[in-house]
Structures are given as structure tokens and as C-alpha cells.
């Protein structure tokens, strides 16, 4: 949760579900949605770090519940959505953030590296979108925000699996936006570029230096940069925006 608010959003009375909420970008989304007044179901398979995220939200005065879930388990995903609806009476905002990388050059990529990434990043997004679509359609305020990546737009060497999964998320976003528009549910994607997280820190200073030189704004993005985009798409101000991909990349894909 940022100390200095850069975007003012009132989500009082709204109910949100964030996958991959235990750390990184997902944790930031959950913190900021709660700070904006939403009740947040924080979903993750990592229950220990999820508990820390819940503690931070509650310490700041927000409302949140931890829910353990493997996003590739269809039965469990359906149960999670039902639990949230039963707990708070509905669902208004879904943020599909859960994702992993298993980088390798194509010729060396193993089947499980491909399957793991596609299952979590793409199938998980599909499963939660499908499960949440009914309560979101019943809401007068349906929002689906899928976390894609610039890798799904431009590709990235060593990330055939990740790029394919995120390109799939973008295609899914655009299709579902057309299917759910008649029910006043907006469906958009946010495509972050290189963001300063635990994942990018593993790249090392030398590589990160080269990456910064390729970014027109000459810096890595901050988690808050991406979270502000999510907050905007979750807000009243974005009610006429659907089927779009909002890149948050410092100009990398211009």
C-alpha cells in the first residue's frame, strides 16, 4: 500500500478477489483494493506468506480473508468463488494475477516447464473467470482485470511458455469482454513491462542495467505503477472501457 496516494478510488462496499495475492504484484493489488474500501478475498497457494499479506491489510484497517487455492484445480476454484459469495453476499471485482515463470530456451524447454506455466497462467485465469462470471453478472458492478505481460505482446527470448500464456490471457480477455458486455461486466488486461519485484531481481544488476537502457523512461516500473492501473480499471471512471490491454511498461512497446 503506497504511503502517498497517487490515485483516489472509492470502492466502499465492493467485494474483490485477487489471485496470487501472497506477494509481489498481487499483494500490492490486494493492499490497495482494501485501502480503497473493498473487501478482498486474497487467494494463493502459499499460505504462510498469504497470512502476512492479510495481517498487513488488517493492520491498515482493511477487510480481507485468506483463501488457499491451487488455481489449476477446477473444483477448488469453484469452491473458492462460492465461499466468497457466501461470506460477503456477492462478487464485484476479479483480479487474475496468479502466475509463474519457468524460463528456458525453446530447444531445451521440458514438457513440465511448458505445462506448469500454461496451466497456472492461462488455465488458472480461465477457471477463475468462468467460476466468477455468474456472480459478476449478478453484480451491478462487474469488473475482471487480468494481469498479462508485455511478453505476450512482443515476445521474449527464453520465455516461449510465459509469452504464449500471456498472449493467451490477452486473447481470452478480448473474447470474454464481448461475451459479458451485455451483462455490464467489463473485462480488461494490464500488461506490465519490467517491474521491480523479486522475479526481476533474479536477473542480476548487469542485465537489469541493459534492460533499463531499452526502456524509454530509463527505469524499471514499480509495483505501485501497475497497481494504480488496476485500481483505475476497477473504478467507476473505467465503466466504459472493456476489451482493452493497458500496458504499463515505461514506453518499452511503443
- What would the pLDDT profile of 122-158 be if each residue is shown by its tens digit? 999 999 999 999 999 999 999 999 999 999 999 999 9
pLDDT at 6: 83
Annotated active-site residue in 126, 128, 162, 194: 162
Average pLDDT over the chain reads 95
pLDDT above 50 for 187: yes
The predicted model scores a pTM of 0.96
Cβ partners under 8 Å of residue 212, min gap 6: 218, 219, 220
Say which CATH number the domain at 32 has: 3.40.50.720
172: left (phi over 0), alpha (psi -120 to 50) or beta: alpha
- Is residue 1 in a domain? no
Length of the chain in residues, anyone? Answer: 254
Task: List C-alpha distances in Å: 39 to 35, 85, 99.
Answer: 9, 12, 23
- Residue 2 is assigned to a structural domain of this protein: no
Residue 253 lies in a domain: no
Look at 86-95, 160-169, 193-202 and tell me which has the smallest mean pLDDT.
193-202
Active site residue 162: yes
198 or 55, which is more confident? 55
Higher pLDDT, 254 or 27: 27
User: Up-side HSE of residue 32: CA atoms within 13 Å toward CB?
Assistant: 29
pLDDT at residue 18 tops 80: yes
Residue 178: give the domain boundaries: 15-247
Q: Do the domain assignments include residue 143?
A: yes
67, 68, 73, 74: CA torsion to nearest 10 = -10
Residue 210 placed within a domain? yes
Residue 73 maps to a domain: yes
Domain count, the chain: 1
* DSSP-H helix ranges across the chain: 24-35, 47-59, 74-88, 111-117, 124-138, 151-154, 160-180, 198-201, 205-214, 223-234
Bridge-partner residues for 248, per DSSP? 192
Residue 240: CB partners within 8 Å, gap ≥ 6? none
Residue 168 forms part of a structural domain: yes
Question: What CA–CA distance (Å, rounded) separates 164 from 117?
Answer: 9
CA–CA distance, 195 with 18 (Å, rounded to integer): 19
pLDDT in tens, 29-82: 999 999 999 999 999 999 999 999 999 999 999 999 999 999 999 999 999 999
> Is 10 among the domain residues?
no
Supply the pLDDT for residue 5.
Answer: 65
Amino acid at each position: 500500500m503506497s504511503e502517498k496516494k497517487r490515485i483516489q478510488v472509492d470502492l466502499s462496499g465492493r467485494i474483490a478477489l485477487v489471485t496470487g495475492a501472497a506477494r509481489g504484484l498481487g499483494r500490492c493489488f490486494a493492499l490497495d483494493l482494501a485501502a480503497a474500501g473493498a473487501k478482498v478475498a486474497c487467494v494463493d497457494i502459499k499460505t504462510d506468506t498469504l497470512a502476512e499479506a492479510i495481517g498487513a491489510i488488517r493492520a491498515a484497517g482493511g477487510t480481507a480473508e485468506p483463501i488457499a487455492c491451487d488455481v489449476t484445480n477446477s473444483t477448488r476454484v469453484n469452491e473458492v468463488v462460492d465461499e466468497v459469495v457466501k461470506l460477503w453476499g456477492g462478487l464485484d471485482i476479479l483480479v487474475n494475477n496468479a502466475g509463474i515463470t519457468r524460463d528456458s530456451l525453446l530447444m531445451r524447454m521440458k514438457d513440465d516447464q511448458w505445462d506448469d506455466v500454461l496451466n497456472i497462467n492461462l488455465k488458472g485465469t480461465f477457471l477463475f473467470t468462468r467460476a466468477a462470471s455468474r456472480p459478476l453478472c449478478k453484480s451491478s458492478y462487474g469488473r475482471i482485470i487480468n494481469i498479462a505481460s508485455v511478453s505476450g505482446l512482443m515476445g521474449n527470448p527464453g520465455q516461449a511458455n510465459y509469452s504464449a500464456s500471456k498472449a493467451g490471457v490477452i486473447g481470452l480477455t478480448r473474447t470474454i469482454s464481448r461475451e459479458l458486455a451485455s451483462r455490464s461486466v467489463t473485462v480488461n488486461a494490464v500488461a506490465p513491462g519490467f517491474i521491480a519485484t523479486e522475479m526481476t531481481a533474479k536477473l542480476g544488476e548487469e542485465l537489469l542495467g541493459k534492460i533499463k537502457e531499452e526502456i524509454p523512461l530509463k527505469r524499471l516500473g514499480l509495483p505501485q505503477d501497475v497497481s494504480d492501473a488496476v485500481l483505475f480499471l476497477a473504478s467507476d471512471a473505467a465503466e466504459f472501457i472493456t476489451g482493452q490491454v493497458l500496458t504499463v511498461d515505461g514506453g518499452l512497446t511503443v
